[in-house]
Amino acid sequence: MSINASQNEISAARAYEDLHVPALFRQFAPLLVEAAHVQPGQRVLDVACGTGVLAREAAAMVGENGFVAGLDASPGMLAVAADLAPSVEWKQGLAESLPYEAGSFDAVLSQFGLMFFPDRAAAIREMLRVLAPRGRFAVAVWESLERSQAYPEEVALLERLISPEAANALRAPFVLGDRDALVQLVADAGAASVEVTTHHGTARFPSIRAMVEADLRGWLPVMGVHPDEAQIEAVLQAAEDVLGRYRTADGTVVFDAPAHIVTGQKP
């Protein structure tokens, strides 16, 4: 495919791949592949693939006789994904209207995208539509903010030093933490055999500054919040104290990052 991404979009996606993928996302990819029972030779779709860490894991499992597709709304993410894994079929599109034939995949995977879809029920219905009968899906979302570490303190800092909008932007990834609501959402969309498992997860950032600066300069603008330099500096300074208990002897930051994986089947 040809992907029309600007240099800024590609730089932002590279920064995501270099910092956030190893810090948070990579550890969950093998768990989703296992949860969906992905086998050699299968056809697998990764929805909201980002830079493709999960699609790459699926490609390693399905092997040369299998097929993996990755879909995301962001051209920058897809440009980096295509660079890293040219053998996967990358497509730009929306989770709510997947550009694939009904029944065309044995498994559908998606990690840490569902909370951002404007119409989550439509996205689950689409995942079921493109699955073959009895095909499995596995979708990962973060636990609630209250059951996570470091981010509750960072959210409070943003509320105090920037604005309620900035704090809400950092709350957004954690809004699907309620297990019962997650099961209801997926079952109401028509899935069978729905189950949720909660995984411990560990976040590992190179430093407090690297973690918080990426949120301020990378994530907040994606959510439409643009702090000024004075606000950024104030938060970075305060974060050294507020998040200090997560700093290890070598300066890296390590904390619990639990997540739910919801699985189910096309009836």
List 137's β-bridge partners, or say none. Answer: 108, 264
- How many residues of this chain bind ligand SAM (CB under 6 A)? 19
Largest Cα–Cα distance in the chain?
Answer: 55
Provide the Cα torsion 45, 48, 51, 56; round to 10°: -20
Nearer to ligand SAM, 30 or 116 (CB): 116
- What values do phi and psi take at 92, rounded to 5? -85, 135
Site map (CB under 6 A) of ligand SAM, residues 72-111, x = contact:
xxx--x----------------xxx--------------x
Distance CA 92, CA 31 (A): 25
Distance CA 191, CA 262 (A): 11
Distance CA 137, CA 223 (A): 28
Nearest alpha-carbon partner for 141 in 185, 62, 198, 221? 198
Among the listed ranges 66-74, 124-132, 144-152, 205-213, the one in contact with ligand SAM (CB under 6 A) is 66-74
Selected from 100, 112, 137, 219, the binder of ligand SAM by CB under 6 A is: 112
Based on the shown chain and the rule CB under 6 A, indicate whether residue 48 belongs to the binding site for ligand SAM. Answer: yes
Selected from 5, 10, 32, 54, the binder of ligand SAM by CB under 6 A is: 54
Nearest alpha-carbon partner for 255 in 208, 210, 214? 208
Nearest approach, Cβ of 233 to ligand SAM (angstroms)?
A: 26
The counts of H helices and E strands in the chain are 11, 9
* Residue 139, token pair as written in the block: 């979708």
Nearer to ligand SAM, 112 or 246 (CB): 112
**Position with the least CB separation from ligand SAM:** 50
Residues 133 to 172: which contact ligand SAM by CB under 6 A? none
Nearest approach, Cβ of 192 to ligand SAM (angstroms)?
A: 24
Nearer to ligand SAM, 84 or 192 (CB): 84
Nearest approach, Cβ of 173 to ligand SAM (angstroms)?
A: 7
Based on the shown chain and the rule CB under 6 A, indicate whether residue 264 belongs to the binding site for ligand SAM. Answer: no
Cβ 52 vs Cβ 84: under 8 Å: yes
- Interface with ligand SAM (CB under 6 A): 21, 25, 48-50, 53-54, 72-74, 77, 94-96, 111-113, 116-117
